[in-house]
A and B are shown apart, each in its own frame.
Chain A
Amino acid sequence: MKTLQQIGLGIFLTGLAVFVSLLFVGSYKLTPAQFEEVIQSKGIQSEVFLSEFNNQIVGKSFSNSHAFSAALISALDKANATHKKEREWSKVIWSKPNSFAYDIIKSTEAGVVAKNKALFWWLTFGLGILGALLFILPNVVLLGPPGIKNNGIWHSKATNRGWIGWMTFLFLVGFYILLYFYPNYIVNWVYLVDPISLKLSGNLASQWFLYGFLYCVVMTVMAVRMYIKYRNNKYQTLRTTSVLFFQIVFAFLIPEILVRFERPWYDFKNAFPLDYDFFFSWNLKQLIAEGGFGLFILVWGIVLTLVVVPVMVYFFGKRWYCSWVCGCGGLAETLGDPYRHLSNKSLGAWKLERWMVHGVLVFALVITGFTLYSYFSGASSVIGIKTQSLQDTYGFLIGSVFAGVIGTGFYPIFGNRVWCRFGCPLAAYLGIVQRFKSRFRITTNGGQCISCGNCSTYCEQGIDVRAYAQKGENIVRSSCVGCGICSAICPRGVLKLENGPEKGRINPTEILLGNDVDLVQLLNKK
């Protein structure tokens, strides 16, 4: 079994190595015919650009995407510099250089990967999945009978911020930086999933399709790990199934199928303000132009945020979304589960969390306000601030850097819920409802707590659960996503996630249950 695991690890690492090496291989060539198409589709009018391209690029071979990108971007920069100097604004190409380069490179369909998509899919995704499963499945036997499986977590270099953790961190951060900011370097990765995208939506893949597919694959494989690790706990296995279902069906399949039927790409479970560009004018225009179906999405999006979300939080707590439905939560609870204990539990971190997460919520609401004002009034700026640049700032800082690079990249260092805890505006909104108007609480079982600290340590949201449990108080915290791990791992059966009457939900006590009845009553009634 151990050997099988090692073989699995070897296969996984091979797949990973092939995947990474794809960044550096290939030969790229833009044919004259393809160049014609680029000119057409981008509506290029710059003669400088045309001559640069014809001299430097068209018909020439490049041995990797970096060299090719560099040539493309330099041609673009040269052309734009000339036109800006000459004030020929209509000839300037306003696309972001890296996206522009990505589009051209992707369309060339050149190189060994583009010509052998299926083969390379198997060498990367195929080996990765196979290896990971071979690594994970033997745990059914190796971990022994069902129970708590936290042995050695703080001894392993992968999970105690050791060198494996730091390598994982570098890989994840690198991946997100490439994905968000340098798609032109990962064209080969996107080729891998072209065949799948064609089958689903009828279109070639974009880098976002790659991300969506990879997301589903990673979650599925790591869900298998969850099923084995927590097979003693039905709450955990059901919850894992639920997030997996919502990710694959709602965030991946339905939107792609909508595209196949020429409908707008839409994830029906992604609620505003997590879905921060829902009210952006391009989206509103697209939805309204769509007619009946677009209007349905528009109404559903508003109802989801204003009615469904708070009502469900009232009955079940924010967990119904954050750890049963949400995609970010889904990744955190599968890929991120091995890192949950790395969250910071200090009082300082809690203070920071409250400022940050509510700050982001305010930020999201402000840009939405600006957006709607601009949309209805037609003004491009409000009180001297350009709506567009505000949106771009949010998209860059929060949408890309915080949610992606930090949110997931930092799993192995700061734990798996950094984004959910410090950055997610929807979590902030759900949290306010959960704290003040909800039936959800984690009940503390009288006087049974022995202050061991397992609950606090394994709380991915950095809640000091023990601080409440050892005082006999229920845990009612806005940040609790109801993952149920504290309850699962408590060695004394002290914690239970419950939805009950609001009365007595928050129960600060002076003295715990089990001591002198009269004293308990005297002090706790005060």
Chain B
Amino acid sequence: MQKKISPKSIVILGNGISGITAARHIRKHSEYQITVVSEEHPYFFSRTALMYVYMGHLKFEHTQPYEKHFWKKNKIDLKQGRVETIDTKNKILQFSDGEALGYDSLILATGSKPNRFGWKGQDAQGVLGLYHKQDLESLEKFAPDNQACRRAVIVGGGLIGIELAEMLHSRHIPVTFLVRETSFWNGVLPEGESELINREIREKGIDLRLNTNLKEIKTDENGQVRSIVTEEECEEILCTVVGLTTGVSPNISYLKGSDITTNRGILVNRYLETNLPDIYAIGDCAEQQEPVGQRRPVEAVWYTGRMMGETVAQTICGNRTAYQPGPWFNSAKFFDIEYQTYGWVWAKPKENEARFYWEYTSGKKCIHLNFDTKSRMFIGINTFGIRLRHAFFDRVLQEGETVDYVLEHFADANFDPEFYPQHDEEIINQFNREQGAQLQRKKRSWKRIFSIPSQSL
């Protein structure tokens, strides 16, 4: 693609994965002037890695994927500041320090903010979330070790909640984990997987309370957390730190009073365009007017932010491109258990769906396949404790292969490190038993693995 030569000025609000990906890709294809504005920290860092800083696996600097000279070399201006208002008519941003910045195109990539539900005491000393870099500083202040923090209570049973539990556990701080649902993350995970993670949480010595809501946070005379009270049992649990990890929502409050249309997030069409010309929204803060396939209208996922960045950069550089993500995938880690998913495995099967669940005797590995009862078409897989190959499932899902194909070629799909114990034999045997099938395991073939067309090597 030819580089566009023009003084056109692109301003990106937010230096998370979405904004930075957009900036990098715009730079690849153009000589536009690029300014990335951020409030939290001048440099891009990986939010998902904050937990490792507290745990002592990394230093904060390690969460920054680019060295400082990268930005200068690529002529991407970084500006730290807080946007007060957006004058969409004259295309000018007003900052809280009185400065102003004009733009030709504006990309809103302001991410999410943690949810708060108006609990009594939610602003007390020692109540914190796990989202911003500043939360890390609060943690170091209120929960440096198990002397300063005798117990922490975490409210909210999602991915961030379990990460916070793992963090506190790494410093031997006793944790009580309040989960509203009947089983951990069972709005997303089917019963088997959810139960497997319940066990993992408890095995780590976390006091997991299912079916439990927070009623209020009690404080001492200094405004410091003293205890929490649960909704159901009205039980008071003494603690000095409360982690609120009850999800995130789009960070769009700065748009109040502007004429950019919002709902939960900033409403965009398939081209990531807002209702106003030359203003785009990407990442966690964007809401699709029409959800893409089975995806949610607001996708607060690392890679979707990145993909929207890749896509909007095309449009900005003159190749108007729709956001059309391929098959759904995701991953996470629950203490020592890695989780990956490709395609869809809903918490509860839909009418046309059949399921196959296999769990290893250790209770730490399982796979769960979802497929169409009639056509036997493969719909999705959850995998715990076994790594699988994205390229394999991306192809299988796009080409509409059957569940039988997937299981027969499961050796190709495996992505575990070398010499790891393989379970394809047990898996296929159990499948054959349960489904009365006669599938034969195929040996792993490098030729097949590396000739995947969608990777367009």
- Residue from A235, A450, A451, A519 in contact with B417 in the complex, judged by beta carbons closer than 8 Å: A235
Interface set, chain A 229-263, CB cutoff 8 A to B = 232-235, 238
**Distance, CA A7 to CA B193, complexed state (A):** 42
Residue in chain A with minimal CB distance to B170: A151
Query: Is A513 within 8 A of B170, CB to CB?
Result: no
Q: Sort chain A's interface into a size bin.
A: 35 or more
4 extra interface residue pairs, beta carbon distance < 8 Å, beyond A493-B415, A496-B416, A497-B418: A448-B340, A450-B49, A493-B331, A493-B388
Q: What are 25 A-to-B residue pairs whose CB atoms are below 8 Å?
A: A148-B336, A150-B55, A234-B420, A235-B417, A235-B418, A346-B67, A445-B389, A447-B329, A450-B302, A450-B331, A453-B63, A454-B52, A454-B57, A456-B62, A466-B65, A484-B417, A500-B449, A511-B310, A512-B303, A512-B307, A513-B455, A516-B307, A519-B310, A519-B321, A520-B456
Residues from chain A with a CB closer than 8 A to the CB of B52 are 452-454
The answer, yes or no, to whether B117 is at the interface (CB within 8 Å) is no
Minimum C-beta distance from B122 to chain A (A): 29
Binding site for A on B (CB under 8 A): 1, 17, 28, 46, 48-49, 52, 55-59, 62-65, 67, 69, 170, 203-204, 302-303, 306-307, 310-311, 314, 321-327, 329, 331-333, 335-336, 338, 340, 387-391, 394, 398, 415-421, 446-447, 449-450, 454-457
Say yes or no: A145-B336 contact (C-beta < 8 A), given A346-B67, A493-B415.
yes
Query: Is B394 within 8 A of A513, CB to CB?
Result: yes
**Main SS class of interface, A:** loop
Query: Is A154 within 8 A of B390, CB to CB?
Result: no
The answer, yes or no, to whether A202 is at the interface (CB within 8 Å) is no
Residues from chain B with a CB closer than 8 A to the CB of A503 are 450, 457
Interface set, chain A 491-512, CB cutoff 8 A to B = 491-493, 496-498, 500-501, 503-504, 507, 510-512
A-B contact count (CB 8 A): 190
Residue in chain A with minimal CB distance to B390: A446
Residue in chain B with minimal CB distance to A237: B419
Query: Is B387 within 8 A of A445, CB to CB?
Result: yes
Minimum C-beta distance from B294 to chain A (A): 15
Say yes or no: A496-B170 contact (C-beta < 8 A), given A154-B59, A454-B58, A507-B457.
no
**Distance, CA A237 to CA B324, complexed state (A):** 43
Residue in chain A with minimal CB distance to B301: A450
Residues from chain B with a CB closer than 8 A to the CB of A498 are 418
**Distance, CA A497 to CA B420, complexed state (A):** 12
Residue in chain B with minimal CB distance to A150: B57
Say yes or no: A517-B326 contact (C-beta < 8 A), given A233-B417, A504-B450, A524-B456.
yes
Residue in chain B with minimal CB distance to A346: B67
**Distance, CA A477 to CA B326, complexed state (A):** 30
The answer, yes or no, to whether A291 is at the interface (CB within 8 Å) is no
**Distance, CA A235 to CA B387, complexed state (A):** 15
- Residue from B302, B391, B446 in contact with A446 in the complex, judged by beta carbons closer than 8 Å: B391
Which of B1, B57, B306 is packed against the most chain A CB atoms within 10 Å? Answer: B57
Which of B67, B446, B456 is packed against the most chain A CB atoms within 10 Å? Answer: B456
Residues from chain B with a CB closer than 8 A to the CB of A513 are 326, 390-391, 394, 454-455
Query: Is A493 within 8 A of B204, CB to CB?
Result: no
